[in-house]
Every structure is written in C-alpha cells, then in structure tokens.
Amino acid sequence: MVGPEVWRTGNVLIKVWDDGVIVYHLDSGTTHLLNPTAGQLLCSLSVASGTATALSHRLASENDLESDEELDHTIADLLKQLDALGLIEPVTE
C-alpha cells in the first residue's frame, strides 16, 4: 500500500509581494505569478515538505481558518496545479 504523496519545492526562487508571489523556475527559465494562496502554499513547502493534508492543516493554523474537507480539496487542487507547472515535486526516496 502506498501512503499519501509528500511534496517539496522544485528548483525555484521565490519573491513574495503583497498581492502575490513571483516564482522563477531555475530548470526551465520560466517565471510564474501566483495568487497569495498558491504562493503561501509554495512558501510553506519551501520551509518543510508535506502531504496535502498536512499542508492544509499547516495553512489553516497559520491563517486562523477551520481545517476541513473543503480546504483539504482546495490544497490538493493547488498542489496538482503547482506540480503541472513543475514548481513542486514528489519526495522520492
């Protein structure tokens, strides 16, 4: 049985602004502007890797939000989008 996927940031540089986050992907040379929520998720991953559920709980705690199933789904969707952009990657060992 395979456990939940653990994510970490890819090879990126992150700059935080008031209205979003700019991310430069070192491997591809692409730049991305993320909304504040996606940016906060990426910044959280740059500090410590985690599963979608763990990241959801972490962000809820940091923002005084209720950790619920809707937030878990939102975070899981954001992780899929960040993965599709190549900004995060699964931890493999």
- Report the number of distinct structural domains present in the chain: 1
The answer to whether residue 20 is domain-embedded is yes
The answer to whether residue 15 is domain-embedded is yes
The answer to whether residue 93 is domain-embedded is no
pLDDT at residue 1, as a whole number: 37
The answer to whether residue 2 is domain-embedded is no
Sort residue 31 into left (φ over 0), alpha (ψ -120 to 50) or beta.
beta
- Identify the domain containing residue 59 by its residue range: 8-87
Across the range 66-83, mean pLDDT stands at: 91
pLDDT at residue 93, as a whole number: 64
pLDDT digits (tens, 9 = 90+) for 16-70: 988 889 999 999 999 999 999 999 999 999 999 999 999 999 999 998 888 889 9
The answer to whether residue 92 is domain-embedded is no
